[in-house]
A and B are shown apart, each in its own frame.
Chain A
Amino acid sequence: MNNHSSELSKQEQFMTIYKRQRRLITSYRFLIMLAFLILWEVTANLGMIDSFFFSSPSRVVLQFVKLCAENNLFWHIGITLWETIISFLLVFIISLVVSTLLWYSSGLSKVMEPYLVILNSLPKSALAPLFIVWLGTGMKTIVVAGISVALFGSIISFYTGFMQCDPEKITLIYTLGGNKQDVFCKVVLPGCLPTLLSTSKVNIGLALVGVIIGEFLAARQGLGYLIIYGSQVFQLNLVITSVIILCIIAFVFYKAIQAVEYRLKKQMGS
């Protein structure tokens, strides 16, 4: 009995230490942010950095309030979010379809390989001016820009994931009397879910990059437009406020996919 209770307290000790470390890490994270914000505010107020160029936290907050009141800030945020989500979903669907076709036909994948490599390493921002000429200035161009940045890397990652499936697991399906479709549905696709999700985490960030590039060049709305507009009229408060909002959006997207990942992992028990 005595032994049992001392063991329990060891476990409790472990839990306390673990929780304390978690709390420490979280508080250090906030401390760094706080220190940065204070340093930024103080140096701006003391004139050590020019607040006209570098803004300051209080100016960002004022700008934020002003934007909410006058410029429909949430409309701009909503537009950027919407374009990013559409691009992301289209990237996911198109790369899933294309990589599945490549997996089914080794001939097709061999033929397509050099094209995929070239398209993947091409800097997609170079294409944005072309998209404007082809598609005009509007949401279509921006979504296409968002897709173009993420798509080819995503196809390559999905396809590589499919090809890394354990060949013995594929043999297993054949020995159970299955065909290629069974191999894909029972072993390759479910086995690759972790790859699909980790690639998606990267993709949503890349889609956001593409959308902002698109908005720089071809938009009258969205955060990318606010940034470009702010820099053109030398309102750097506006630029920096938009950039900070982008930071928050990127973080929220990442966390959202992480939550999906966590739920799926729990469901699949791995």
Chain B
Amino acid sequence: MQNILELKNIGYSYHALQGETKALKNISFHVKEGEFVAIVGPSGCGKSTLLSIIAGLLAPEEGTILVNNPDGSLHYPRVGYMLQRDHLLEWRNIYKNVILGLEINHMMTEERLAYVNQLLFDYDLDKFKNKRPSELSGGMKQRAALIRTLALDPQLLLLDEPFSALDYQTRLMVSADICHLIRNTGKTMIIITHDLSEAISLADRIIVLSPRPSTVKKEMEIHLTLLDNSPLAARNAPEFSDYFNQLWEELTSE
């Protein structure tokens, strides 16, 4: 499979009156089509900045981002971005929330709406269409947020610590659930997390960033032997603790 995204020597600094803070330095990596990549690093290392650059919300100060669309076109891949919390708008019902992106992009075509309705049905949310977000559980809200992202048919999904607002137990279930759903769509995903076990259990490859100014410290392929299909299966895999220890070493060594 070919690379959907190639980052070359990306650099970015924040500027303030007190001076310049270098956040990213010489970051280079690539992401293959359909691959799940996790980015881990110490807190404050600029992970979110990197994701904003990939999403096109920030322009890099140095370096280039190369794009290879599967269909050979040259436009930037459509990016779907999932934020730390679901941010469903309380004054809209679930249906109005999931079509927010279509509304903004004036894409309320029959075909799109049918796709959204199909997703609502597939994700067991069709009965909650007319409910307010506050009436849904944390997991259902994350599913609704995923549908809102998928409605625009993104080629690349970016998840910025998407489950960090959930309590631990819900988080285990929801992260496995959401990633399973994304895998079924065959889309490419980049996830940022500070939870090492989450990274190992969800990703095909983990990119470890160093403290600020961040560079890529290590890339690690993950191959787990899954014993069953439960949300905890990845954590029970025999290779899990090895990967965990390796990652821990990488993050704590200077």
Which A residues contact B (CB, under 8 angstroms)? 166, 168-169, 171-178, 182, 186-187, 190-191, 193, 268-270
Give the CA-CA distance A174 to B105 in the complex, in Å.
Answer: 11
| Known contacts A168-B85, A171-B57; A177/B104 CB under 8 A | yes
The contact string, 1 if C-beta is below 8 Å from chain A, for chain B 67-90, is 000000000000111011101011
Q: In the assembled complex, how far is the CB of residue A31 from the closest CB belonging to chain B, in whole angstroms?
A: 39
A68 to chain B, nearest CB (A): 46
List the interface of chain B (C-beta within 8 A of A). 55, 57, 79-81, 83-85, 87, 89-91, 93, 100-101, 103-105, 132, 134, 148, 152
Give the CA-CA distance A178 to B80 in the complex, in Å. Answer: 13
Cα-based distance from A160 to B147 in the complex (angstroms): 33
Check A186/B105 contact, CB under 8 A, given A169-B87, A268-B90, A270-B90. no
Known interface pairs A169-B89, A269-B91; A176-B132 also in contact (CB < 8 Å): no
Give 15 A-B contacts (CB < 8 Å), ordered by A residue. Answer: A166-B87, A168-B83, A168-B84, A169-B87, A172-B83, A174-B57, A175-B57, A175-B81, A176-B100, A176-B104, A178-B104, A190-B91, A269-B90, A269-B132, A270-B91
Closest to A270 in B: B90
Please name all residues of chain A whose beta carbon is closer than 8 Å to the beta carbon of B81 when the two chains form the complex. Answer: 175
| Cα distance A175–B103 in the bound complex, in angstroms | 13
Q: Please indicate the chain A residues that have their CB under 8 angstroms from the CB of B148 in the complex.
A: 176
**Closest chain A CB from B151 CB (angstroms):** 9
Whether B89 lies near A176 (C-beta < 8 A) is no
Chain A binding site: helix, strand, loop or mixed by DSSP?
helix
A177 touches B89 (CB 8 A): no
B104 CB contacts on chain A under 8 angstroms:
173, 176-178, 182, 186
Q: Which 6 A-B pairs have the closest CB atoms?
A: A175-B81, A176-B101, A268-B91, A178-B104, A269-B132, A172-B87
Measured between beta carbons, the chain A residues less than 8 angstroms from B57 are 171, 174-175
A177→B148 CA distance, assembly (Å): 12
CB-nearest residue of chain B relative to A175?
B81
Q: How many angstroms between the C-alpha atoms of A270 and B91 in the bound complex?
A: 7
Q: Which residues of A contact B84 (CB under 8 A)?
A: 168
Residues of A within 8 A of B55 (CB): 175
Closest B residue by C-beta to A267: B91
Chain B contacts for A193, CB-based, 8 A: 91
Return the contact of B132 from the options A169, A172, A173, A270 (Cβ within 8 A): A270
A119–B12 Cα distance when bound, in Å, is 42
